[in-house]
Amino acid sequence: MTEILALDGLVKRFGSRTILDGISLNVSAGEIVCFVGPSGTGKSTLLRCINGLEDIQGGRISFEGQAVQGNPSAIRAVRKRVGMIFQHFNLYPHLTALQNVMLAPVVVHKEAKAEVEARARALFDKVRLAHRINAYPAEMSGGEQQRVAIARALCTNPHLLMFDEPTSALDPETVGDVLTVMRDLALEGRTMLVVTHEIRFAADVGTRMVFMDQCRIVEQGDPRAMVAGAQTERARKFLGTIHG
Amino acid sequence: MMQYWPLMLKSAGTTLWLSWLAMLLGALGGTALALLRQIRFAPLRWVVIGYMEFFRSIPILIVLFFAFYGVPLLLEVDISPFVAATLALALHASATMSEVVSAGIASVGRGQWEAAAAAGFSWPQTMRHIIAPQALRVILPPSVGVFITTLKESSLASIIGYIELTRTGLLVRDSTGGGFLPLLALGAVYFVINYAISQVGAALERRLHIGRRSDLVGAMA
Amino acid sequence: MGYSFTLRTIYPYFGDLWQSALNTLSLSLLAIVLSIALGALVALMRRSALRPVRLLGAAYVEVMRNTPLLVILYLVYFAAPEAGVRLSSFMAALVGLTLNSAGYMAEILRAGLIAVPPGQFEAAQSQGMSSAQVLRHVVFPQVFRTIYAPLGNQVIAVILASSLATAVALDEVASWMQTVGSSSFRFFETFVVAAVVYLVLCQSVNIARILIGRKLFPQGRRA
């Protein structure tokens, strides 16, 4: 398995507050790594450090063999190959669903419009939104917006997908639609990092579970095994309360 | 230059008096217009809206010219620069104030009217006891902005020869042999007065806990 | 009360009116374009990471909003020659009007920038867009939506304010009314004509704004 991402001793501080305290992690192609743990333990910040939305105060990040940290052009290169899905979708409100998906391939990757449009339409089929292609974000439900956001991330043919609590801002009845799409992506063999509170999804779909607490990785391993009985007390307690 | 400061400050008083009077008349006129707009009679509403659009689409300077040069010819009466300036400023302020007051009245929910009607209040009673106190919270902050605009506009009175702050600044400049220092001082006096008033307005807005309505306030002058 | 309304006496002056209206129009248009540019600069200054730059931007806005345009025009017209720059009436009016309007433009643009949520910048950056691409494709269209209505108001405000250029001896519509009125003693007529010119200019802007707005921002396109 080829290694895609390597984090080594990552440290993130906001002023005097430490958010990430020496995170080391290697991710290979095809892995689906689910990050779980109490709120405010730095899971989302970790994803945001990887594509440079947050700067880091220590440690190393390398993506596909290239060092990333502190180098603007390397950060942009990473961003072109990493798709990100946000908790609040962050669709562009002035563009239709189709235009949202097509913007970056055309503007950033300089691809031909016709090619991009064909690919985008296929992606709308995949996320089951072919009928909403010309809708504006304000006209769509949260679940629909998040699926457009997934199509938007996929349209640049990313090597890695990062999901930052993709279902946390959704109405309960639309969560299922988004998780179904994510399941489909997992079956295709995509490499995914998923910050989530959906423990069942993590256990079913994830190839690895990373439990984080108090700015560190406390335990990681096979998701099913961890849900059945984690090694550490903290993980056991957290997974027990959430699951039960 | 120093010896002219008392003169400048005294004429700042003249400017404040002129603006205050125009603002008062404008607020009264604007309120009357806003109340007229409440009456469900379409032609009347068109007249009020026409009045507002008219004064918002022509510069106050030509109203001032008309009041000072035109009205005496038309009515064969003498009009002093002070009266002409007060009139022009008040007309202009009344158009803006009618918008501000209308927005204030509209900000009070329908439920209040219904509750008052159910309790047997007449229209004037409802307006006076229920609607006005609530609308005032919304009306007051942008009114401060209208006052600042009126105060800045009052500088135009200098063009028809009324000796207020701006005219005094120009006279001081002439008698000190030119230079731009008197003009700078003039600008500074206006700035200090208006900035102080705007701070009062901001404090008022905070007190009344309502969002900024600067879109109504931002008139150039 | 023997006044009878007659335009005939002022017919000979309509040629001058055309030239004056052109002055009003070109002065306003130039001032609007230039003050948007200067206002954008000031709005960006107010978002700077450096505190002194932010304060300078804020001070500029406060000074312009709290000083009469007339005083600014006099300062430009009288002070510039003393600094060794001789400005024509048109240039002095343009500089004064632009400086003043930029204070308001800056506030309008700032409000537009504030209305773009941080998530929009993040989404665009995370797709690998350069700063220029983020501004061009994501931020600007959204800012434009927010500032569209207040921008229209400011355009009208500049047209009306351009009348003060008469104070620095520019022949525009208000000064046409004044000079023709005083030489023909037909102030009522010149007032009506001048008012019509301004009404047509301002209401054209108003109507254009509404029609273009309907085309540009159909329902559902709002954030």
Q: Which of A90, A98, A156 to mutate to test the interface with C (most CBs of C within 10 A)?
A: A90
- Which of B221, B97, B94 shows the shortest CA–CA distance to B166? B221
| CATH number for the domain harbouring residue B133 | 1.10.3720.10
| CATH number for the domain harbouring residue C104 | 1.10.3720.10
Is there a domain that residue C167 lies in?
A: yes
For residue C120, give the nearest of A52, A76, A90 by CB distance. Answer: A90
Torsion of CA B93, C4, C166, C154, to 10 degrees: 40
Share of chain B above pLDDT 70, in %: 94
Å from C120 to nearest chain B CA? 24
For residue C191, give every residue at least 6 positions away whose Cβ sits within 8 Å of its Cβ, in sequence order, or none.
Answer: B62, B65, B66, B70, C177, C181
The predicted pLDDT at position B101 comes to 95
Q: Do A and B touch (≥3 CB pairs < 8 Å)?
A: no
Which residues does chain C have within 8 Å of residue A92's beta carbon, measured at their own beta carbons? Answer: 120, 123-124, 138, 141-142
CA A193/CA B22 separation, integer angstroms: 67
Is C141 in CB contact (< 8 Å) with chain B? no
Q: Going edge to edge, which strands form the sheet with A17-28?
A: A17-28, A3-14, A58-63, A66-67
For residue A138, give the nearest of C117, C129, C223 by CB distance. Answer: C223
| Domains contained in chain A, CATH given | 3-243 (3.40.50.300)
In sequence order, what DSSP letters do the residues of C17-31 get, joined into one string? HHHHHHHHHHHHHHH
- The region that residue A22 occupies, defined by phi over 0 for left and psi between -120 and 50 for alpha, beta otherwise, is left
For residue B59, give the nearest of C149, C163, C203 by CB distance. Answer: C163
CA B33/CA B47 separation, integer angstroms: 10
Is there a domain that residue C6 lies in?
A: no
Which residues does chain A have within 8 Å of residue C127's beta carbon, measured at their own beta carbons? Answer: 79-80, 84, 103-104, 108, 152, 156
pLDDT category, A244, cuts 50, 70, 90?
very low
CA C127/CA A78 separation, integer angstroms: 9
Q: Using CA coordinates, name the residue in chain B closest to C71.
A: B187
A210: which strand partners?
Answer: A35, A220
Is there a domain that residue C1 lies in?
A: no
The predicted pLDDT at position C80 comes to 82
The predicted pLDDT at position C207 comes to 93
The per-residue b/e assignment along C166-199, b for 16 or more CB within 10 angstroms, e otherwise, is bbbebbbbbbbbbbbbeeeebbbbbbbbbbebbe
Q: Using CA coordinates, name the residue in chain C closest to A47.
A: C126
The predicted pLDDT at position B221 comes to 66
Is there a domain that residue C2 lies in?
A: no
Which residues does chain C have within 8 Å of residue A93's beta carbon, measured at their own beta carbons? Answer: 142, 221-223
How many separate domains does chain B show?
A: 1
Is B50 in CB contact (< 8 Å) with chain C? no
Q: With 90 as the cut, is the pLDDT of residue A210 above it?
A: yes
Is C86 in CB contact (< 8 Å) with chain A? no
Chain C 97-126, CB below 8 Å of chain B: which residues?
Answer: 100-101, 104, 107-108
pLDDT category, C185, cuts 50, 70, 90?
confident
A79, C122: Cβ pair inside 8 Å?
A: no
Is there a domain that residue C5 lies in?
A: no
Cα dihedral sign, A142-A145-A149-A155: positive
Torsion of CA A79, A85, A91, A97, to 10 degrees: 100
Is there a domain that residue C138 lies in?
A: yes
CA C157/CA C160 separation, integer angstroms: 5
Domain of residue B48 covers 2-217
Chain C 128-187, CB below 8 Å of chain A: which residues?
Answer: 128-130, 133, 137-138, 141-142, 145
Q: Using CA coordinates, name the residue in chain B closest to C2.
A: B74
CA B206/CA C84 separation, integer angstroms: 46
B156, two tokens = 């135009």
pLDDT tens-digit map of A86-109: 999 999 999 999 999 999 999 999
Question: C58: how many CB neighbours lie within 10 A of its CB?
Answer: 15
Q: With 60 as the cut, is the pLDDT of residue B136 above it?
A: yes
Of the listed ranges A50-64, C2-16, C60-74, C85-99, the least confidently predicted one is C2-16
The predicted pLDDT at position A20 comes to 93
Is there a domain that residue C221 lies in?
A: no
Domain of residue C133 covers 14-216
- Give the pLDDT mean for C84-101: 93
For residue C68, give the nearest of B69, B70, B152 by CB distance. Answer: B152
The predicted pLDDT at position B209 comes to 66
C119, A53: Cβ pair inside 8 Å?
A: no
pLDDT tens-digit map of B144-180: 999 999 999 999 999 999 999 999 999 998 888 877 8
Length of chain A: 244
- Give the pLDDT mean for B191-204: 92
Q: Which residue has the tokens 């005032």?
A: B136
For residue C137, give the nearest of A93, A107, A156 by CB distance. Answer: A107
Please report all neighbours of A, defined by 3+ CB atom pairs within 8 A.
C
How many separate domains does chain C show?
A: 1
C127, A104: Cβ pair inside 8 Å?
A: yes
Of the listed ranges A212-226, B73-87, C208-222, the least confidently predicted one is C208-222
**Cβ pairs bridging A and C (under 8 Å):** 68
ipTM of the complex: 0.90
pLDDT category, B211, cuts 50, 70, 90?
low
Is there a domain that residue C20 lies in?
A: yes
The predicted pLDDT at position B219 comes to 64
C119, A90: Cβ pair inside 8 Å?
A: yes
Where are the alpha helices (H) located in B108-213, listed in sequence order?
110-118, 123-125, 132-153, 165-175, 181-207
What is the number of alpha carbons within 13 Å of residue A6 lying toward its C-beta?
9
- Which of C142, C63, C138 shows the shortest CA–CA distance to C106? C63
Is C160 in CB contact (< 8 Å) with chain B? yes
